[in-house]
Amino acid sequence: MGAGVGQEADTVGFLSALEREPYRYDFYQVMRRFECANRDLPRWGMALRPRDEPVRLGQDPELTFAPAPLSSFAPGGSNARARLAVRLFGLLGPNGPLPLHLTEYARERLMHAGDRTFARFLEMLSHRFVALFYRAWAQSQPTVMADRPVEDRFRAFVGAFIGIMPPAFRERDTVPDAAKLAAAGILAPQVRSADGLRALLAEYFRVPVQLREFIGHWLPLARSDQSALAAAYARLGQGAVLGRKVYDRQCRFRLELGPLSRVLYESFLPSGKLFRPLIDWVRNYVGFEYAWDVRLSLAADEVPVVMLGGAGQLGWTTWLGLRPLGKPAEDLVLNAEAALARVGELT
């Protein structure tokens, strides 16, 4: 094609088939293929100059009702622009807005005198209308908009619901934006739930996930909040607290992953590739309001045997003695945020 539809093997085959049997193809399908094959050009209906569009869109003057959306395709050459003749939209024909005698005139001049002047003049006007007709359809199709991610308006619309519409908020952590968009139905509501977090993690990591709420833990008290004689918080039964810590069950939950294969188990360790995405998913959904930890469960048949000369990570992938038959190893509980801080200090 003179205007530069990509010359990859599949594109060439498509153009040849379109030239032979245009009636077998749908208008929207063909327009989308042209748009995908010319990613360096503006989308249909967005170009400022005709030369920035890969194909001229025209209409053959016919008096019959259209049996198919497309009537012909001419690939063009070095001095001619490729041309696609459509029948579902245009100025001429029984469905066109112009009087029918103008279609008769254009057809008569073309058939008997080989004069395309009037028909091509109308094409100069209708080309833009056809391109905008396709653009109006394409803007409401999420799959079509995804052909060019940088210009994907639907992606921006969905991203606005979950806080990643502005460019500054995109790709800000190890969780891909595509995964966040796929989970927009869970991330968008302001109400957070245990079921929502469990569904997010199970879908993304493809592992069994359980969530236990109300995990007890000790909260340290700042010195200014500790009870002391002749100071605040010293009234018995109302504010006095003995010690430097208080026991709490409201602010902590635990994720339980597994049973896992050994490869997956090691991936969720602080040195593994899935550890940071796990933390980022929890931060995206829960924020920093609650404390949490994660219990990793290694499948029983994957538990390694400790031997002299063998390799292992103390406290993570090593177990001494004999384990109950068929019982997974689920001893490891990680404070994920604290472990991440330690990893950051080491790196």
Max avg pLDDT among 16-25, 55-64, 223-232, 276-285 = 276-285
Q: What is the pLDDT of residue 18?
A: 93
In 3-state terms, what secondary structure has residue 143?
Answer: helix
Q: What is the pLDDT of residue 28?
A: 95
Max avg pLDDT among 83-87, 115-119, 276-280 = 276-280
Q: What is the pLDDT of residue 285?
A: 96
**294 against 342, higher pLDDT:** 294
DSSP 53-112: SSSEEE----SSPPSSSEEEEE---SSS--EEEESSS-SSSTTSSS-HHHHHHHHHHHHH
**24 against 50, higher pLDDT:** 24
DSSP strand pairing (217-220 vs 291-298):
unpaired
Q: What is the pLDDT of residue 234?
A: 76
CA 209, 211, 215, 218 torsion-angle sign:
positive
Average pLDDT estimate for 237-244: 83
End-to-end CA distance of the chain: 54
**Any idea where the domains of the chain sit in the sequence?**
9-146, 152-188, 192-214+250-346
Neighbour count for residue 161 (Cβ, 10 Å): 14
9: confidence class by pLDDT, cuts 50, 70, 90: low
6: confidence class by pLDDT, cuts 50, 70, 90: very low
Q: What is the pLDDT of residue 1?
A: 46
The whole-angstrom separation of Cα 28 and Cα 39 is 17
Average pLDDT estimate for 226-245: 81
322: confidence class by pLDDT, cuts 50, 70, 90: confident
Q: What is the pLDDT of residue 345?
A: 57
Whether the per-residue pLDDT at 5 is higher than 60: the answer is no
Q: What is the pLDDT of residue 136?
A: 94
**150 against 73, higher pLDDT:** 73
Place of tokens 């109302």: 238
Non-local CB neighbours of 297 within 8 Å, separated by 6+ positions: 256, 257, 258, 259, 260, 328, 329, 330
Q: What is the pLDDT of residue 2?
A: 42
The whole-angstrom separation of Cα 267 and Cα 296 is 11
Whether the per-residue pLDDT at 180 is higher than 90: the answer is yes
**What's the chain's average pLDDT?**
89
Is-above-0.85 flag for pTM? no
The whole-angstrom separation of Cα 146 and Cα 43 is 12
Neighbour count for residue 277 (Cβ, 10 Å): 20
Q: What is the pLDDT of residue 80?
A: 79
4: confidence class by pLDDT, cuts 50, 70, 90: very low
Q: What is the pLDDT of residue 8?
A: 52
Average pLDDT estimate for 234-248: 85
